[in-house]
Amino acid sequence: MEIQKQKCSSKEDQDINAISYCGQCHIYMCNKCEKFHTKLFSSHQIYNLEKQTGEIFTGFCKEKNHLNKLEFFCKTHNTLCCPVCLCKIRKNGIGLHKDCDVCFIEDIKEGKKNKINENIKYLEEISNTIQDSFDKLKITFEEMIKNKEELKLKIENTFTKIRSALNNREDELLLEVDKQFNDLYCDEKIFEKYEKLPKNIKILLEKGKKIEFNEDKLISFINDCINIENNIEDIKKMNENIDKIKNETKKEIKFSCESDEQLNLFLENIKKFGKIFISNFLESLIIKDDFVKQNSIINWIKEKTNKNSIKFERIFIMSINVSSSTDFHNYCDNKGPTLTIAQTTKNKIFGGFTPLNWDNSGGNKIDKNNQTFIFSLDLLKKYDLINKEKEAIYCNKQYGPYFGGRDFSIESNMKKGKTFSNKGTNFISNNNLDMTGGKGDNESFDISDFEVFKVIY
């Protein structure tokens, strides 16, 4: 029922829109009727329809065809109901609350009085924060829309490049067909010339028959003879070409992708090209646009921890939060499972995951569940611990993240990293130099940036 469309209950003014409703008389009133009603019944509860934000409470049951006054309260559904709602027979909207916990309205009076005070307190508290929350939500939503449009644009640009490459390849192949036919057989334009050959021979023959030897016109005679000889040489060459073309036509030029099987395979690959999926690394500055790397890390962590759902909260980034290893420990100590992603100045991207807490205790930590691993995102390889008795991480206030037996570590100033090459490594099949870009055994590498994420199961 739309309040703004209600008409006056008076028969005389039934075509006039109502502006108010009387809760005791259960009538809708226009402006004129309201004035008389207010004078007669000043104590009645009047609802202003223009200011009313919700449905008018009439005191009668809303269920279709009940038309009874509301006398009971259903505790099961927290709603008012009438006698028909409690009918033992349940049919066509009757007896909807026959099996519920029901009481008289008077029985819940005190409870509702107390509850309204709680609700008012809640509304007062939330009224101070809801606008701020909505404003933040609006900003987040606008960022999501921007991200969506950027994602669409990226897909469009990718497929524009693919279409352009296909068009260019098509043009190349079409030109190659012309070239191959012209080189192997002959230029199509040659037929325009050869079509006139029989006629030209007849003309040349008639012309030759008319040539007569004359001492007085010796030079002219010699010239005519030379022309005939030259034309005959041209005719011989053209005749040879005709024979050659006839022989070459036995060779066949083919298109290597003309079978249905090859074409269907190519079309299937196109159908599978590209993938849309949700990334949990929206805040990563290092691998924010590389979904392959992101997905690899997510799958590795799920595999090691047997967790189906994981989230990431970035708690540290060197370029923003750091001046020394002390800052790393202030942000990252005792946070539970963490993921470290590092990038060198040579653009090597690697890192490690551990379920163990970082701290500044100055000791090695063993991962008895064998979940700690390090990885190379350039090689897309994960390196597991050799065994659970090997040191997984080393915690010291003089270092940032330090994995294994210095499989890799980030030093006190956070700008340098250090690694052993192949000796002292605690992770299986790990070549630290390929992973970090170090020069040799016990050599340093330069850090461009690194991030630490809290991993939430």
- How confident is the model over 9-24, as pLDDT tens digits? 898 888 898 888 887 8
Clarify whether residues 326 and 423 are in a common domain. Answer: yes
Structure tokens at 326: 């002390």
Q: Which residues pair with 73 in a beta bridge?
A: 80, 103
What is the DSSP-derived secondary structure letter of residue 445?
E
Clarify whether residues 127 and 150 are in a common domain. Answer: yes
Nearest 5°: the CA angle 106, 108, 111 is 135
> What is d(CA 348, CA 434) in angstroms, rounded to the nearest whole number?
9
Clarify whether residues 324 and 388 are in a common domain. Answer: yes
- The pTM (predicted TM-score) of the whole model is 0.46
Confidence class for position 329, pLDDT limits 50, 70, 90: very high
Number of domains the chain is built from: 4
Clarify whether residues 361 and 374 are in a common domain. Answer: yes
Between residues 412 and 429, the one the model is more confident about: 412
> What is d(CA 311, CA 303) in angstroms, rounded to the nearest whole number?
15
> What is d(CA 187, CA 249) in angstroms, rounded to the nearest whole number?
13
Clarify whether residues 296 and 398 are in a common domain. Answer: yes
Q: Could you tell me the residue range of the domain that residue 296 belongs to?
A: 291-456
Task: Write down the pLDDT at residue 309.
Answer: 82
What is the DSSP-derived secondary structure letter of residue 278?
-
Clarify whether residues 206 and 244 are in a common domain. Answer: yes
As a whole number, mean pLDDT of residues 192-197 equals: 66
Confidence class for position 306, pLDDT limits 50, 70, 90: very high
Give residue-wise pLDDT tens across range 196-226.
667 777 777 777 777 777 777 788 888 878 8
As a whole number, mean pLDDT of residues 54-65 equals: 72
Which of 146, 181, 216 marks a domain boundary? 181
